[in-house]
Amino acid sequence: MRLFSCDVCGKTLNPDTDPRFVWKVEGSPVSEELEPTVLEEDDLEADEDSVESMDELLLEREGQSEADDARDTAEMLPVCVRRAYDICGTCYLKLVNDPLGLESRKARPFSRN
């Protein structure tokens, strides 16, 4: 039998009696040039040769990626980070209600030592 423990509070989760949840977190950088654009109906009608435009855009991006590969990659941040955590039902409810822990930080007074 495989045993799990909550990655938040450390409680051992019994597979027969305790529900186990998986909390998945994903982060990736966003730049405005890569943001999807929404076209209005007028723009769609005016864009008659969208396939040709897309080909040009892809060729342009290929050229940019080749130039980017030539740069030093040691300073680059991870492109995408994915994590999965096993958690108990109590911690799951806490994460659903306050995923970043902002409310719990406000409730915790710090001493003035």
What residue ranges do the domains of the chain occupy?
4-107
Total count of residues recorded for the chain: 113
Residue 101's pLDDT is what? 85
The span from the CA of 73 to the CA of 80, in Å, is: 15
CA dist 56 and 36 (Å) reads 17
Owner of token pair 């995923």: 99
pLDDT at 62: 75
pLDDT tens for 42-94 read: 555 555 566 777 777 778 877 766 555 555 454 666 688 899 999 999 999 99
For 4-21, how does the pLDDT look when each residue is reduced to its tens digit (9 = 90+)? 899 999 999 988 888 999
**Whole-number pLDDT of residue 23:** 93
Give the amino acid at 47: D
Average pLDDT over residues 35-42: 60
Higher pLDDT, 41 or 58: 58
